[in-house]
Chain A
């Protein structure tokens, strides 16, 4: 008859305190151990990478003072001078241009996608950002060479020189080749735009509907509601998006390499060529074995990239978990 009465004579009644480990307990323990060690391995990877770079870069730092690396403007590895200031400045300028252009536009677009569009419109617009986000850097580079470099050379540089450049010499260069900080910044800004837009949109859509409805019920306009969702509730997510965009721009290699001109000096204007840390590493890997200290200098450049990315990420993490009391473990 019915199995309901089987409970009276159960086939097993597991002891609450097991006297010996059963097969399942073994599986569980082994699974715990294996999965935990893989999770530790992820931390181990970052530690190992840092270790390798520190070991290699350390060799240069022993014979060549740090201040001379950071502030020196002469990059002549064959003569043993390793001033990296031009690369630091170039990297920072390119990143700054990209962030200034992309961040406001991307956040606005993200807000628009999340708060203003109907589901059907979003269905059309969303693939736009996804498509852009998936495009390989080298394709952006090709586009930069074909479209942005001529655009900077023939349109943006002349116009800027004729107008705002009269006041700010930094924006004035009548003979720009197009391969410039500006071109790299533009290419990078299109590269990080979809990343920030997509994350902003996702963050805003995760904001509970009730919050939005409560604000609307008070008679707020859509923009006023967006200010609450984006700059209060969604702020941590948006900050994370901006940090990711920054990291991407800061370390991008091929796309920048193709349009920045690769001239190792501090650029006099935005429309002059420059050089970035990542470009320095990428361009010189072939010859680096032959010159003493050269490889170590390149590893120092890599270490600099690593240090900036780690400190930026850890900094925001601390800010978000300590100051805003969110994020962290969950």
Chain B
């Protein structure tokens, strides 16, 4: 190759490099801008309508026309729904995933379970809602906290399971071997794996909680909506996403403002649980081998 063509070639590579860096920074900058505008808008519009009553009272009779009260019903409802869903989902996901790394390791069955979880992860939550609703209609039941929990369980099960799966996968094979070399059964190995991946499991639980609390489509048909606090598993229950959605849908500016306040509350809740997840991952686990 002649010298100046080679120099030309170098220049072109350097140019491509710089161009790509520019593009990447631009992409990230755009995202940062969008995030900033999102947080700012929610904060500014939300703070205006935020009041103590919003957090501590249930809606008054004329709430959706601009009357008094708050959205305590939705806050409590969302927490109850998310908590129930996490509980149900982890009862299936944790043993299921441990199975995938002990008894079932490397089998075809486990490969199919992983694929199923990926499919479920991608499934629109409205599909889960519609399915549970159909079952409710068959059984002649009304919308209820329990039905909402079941729909949300389907939403968070794959998130919880796949995240936990990745965590357990990170457990060093040396630990598996060291444990088995002591003559343990696979059940005892599963318990050791659980121990080692506990912080990751906590992080996965918080991630799933965050997703459960923010999902409105799954509870739309299943949990219903009420102005009162839930008293039993079979009562309908309000939720924050739907509180936002319904209030924004009314023609009254005062009510719409409260939707922004509700959005702010939801955002703060999600951020707080996200923070817990982060802390769980980094601060927990005294005995965990790193």
Contacts and interface: CB of A to CB of B under 8 A. Distances in A.
State yes or no: do A and B touch (Cβ within 8 Å).
yes
Interface of A: 14, 24-25, 27-28, 31-32, 34-36, 38-43, 45-46, 49, 52-53, 56, 104-106, 108-109, 111-113, 116, 125, 128-132, 134-143, 145-147, 190, 193-194, 197, 221-224, 226, 240, 243-244, 246-248, 250-254, 257-258, 278, 281-282, 285, 289, 295, 298-299, 302, 305-306, 309-310, 312-314, 317, 328-330
Interface residues of B, number: 89
A56 B23 CA distance: 49
B61 interface: no
B55 interface: no
B127 A329 contact: no
Contact of A45 (B115, B126, B157, B260): B157
A1 B124 CA distance: 68
Contacts of B17: 221-223
B108 A329 contact: yes
Interface in B104-136: 104, 106-113, 115-128, 130-131, 133-135
Nearest to A329: B111
Nearest to A194: B31
A254 B241 contact: yes
A135 B270 CA distance: 7
B99 A39 contact: yes
A250 B217 CA distance: 14
Contacts of A254: 216-217, 241, 245
A131 B274 contact: yes
A253 B110 contact: no
Given A49-B127, A147-B41, 17 more contacts: A31-B103, A32-B187, A35-B190, A45-B154, A52-B134, A104-B27, A105-B27, A109-B24, A109-B27, A128-B31, A129-B31, A134-B207, A135-B267, A137-B241, A302-B130, A309-B122, A329-B107
A222 to B, nearest CB: 6
Nearest to A245: B122
A39 B122 contact: no
Contacts of A282: 126, 217, 220
Contact of B161 (A42, A193, A243): A42
Contact of B42 (A143, A250, A298): A143
A132 B31 contact: yes
Contacts of B14: 221
Nearest to A28: B185
Contacts of A34: 95
A52 B154 CA distance: 15
Contacts of A52: 131, 134-135
Interface in B205-234: 207, 210-211, 213-217, 220-221
A137 B214 CA distance: 7
Nearest to B18: A223
A295 B130 CA distance: 10
B98 A35 contact: yes
B51 interface: no
A31 B186 contact: yes
B34 interface: yes
26 contacts: A35-B96, A36-B103, A36-B104, A42-B117, A45-B116, A45-B157, A53-B130, A106-B27, A112-B25, A128-B32, A128-B35, A131-B271, A135-B214, A137-B214, A139-B38, A143-B38, A221-B13, A247-B122, A247-B124, A251-B122, A251-B123, A253-B126, A257-B245, A295-B137, A299-B130, A314-B115
B126 to A, nearest CB: 5
B129 to A, nearest CB: 8
A317 B115 contact: yes
6 smallest CB-CB distances across A and B, nearest first, come from A251-B124, A136-B214, A247-B122, A35-B99, A112-B24, A253-B217
A305 B127 contact: yes
A137 B215 contact: yes
Q: Provide the main secondary structure of the chain B interface.
A: helix
Interface in B247-279: 248, 259-260, 263, 266-267, 270-271, 274, 278
Contact of A302 (B126, B185, B266, B274): B126
B41 to A, nearest CB: 5
Contact of B128 (A25, A28, A43, A49): A49
Most buried by B among A104, A139, A143: A139
Nearest to A25: B185
A24 B185 contact: yes
Contact of B31 (A109, A138, A247, A257): A109
Interface in B27-66: 27-28, 30-32, 34-35, 37-38, 41-42, 45
Nearest to B106: A329
B157 A139 contact: no
B16 A28 contact: no
Contact of A330 (B106, B120, B248): B106
A329 B100 CA distance: 10
A306 B187 CA distance: 36
A282 B130 CA distance: 9
Contacts of B215: 136-137
A254 to B, nearest CB: 5
A258 B122 contact: no
Looking at B115, B125, B185, B263, which has the most chain A CB atoms within 10 Å of its CB? B115
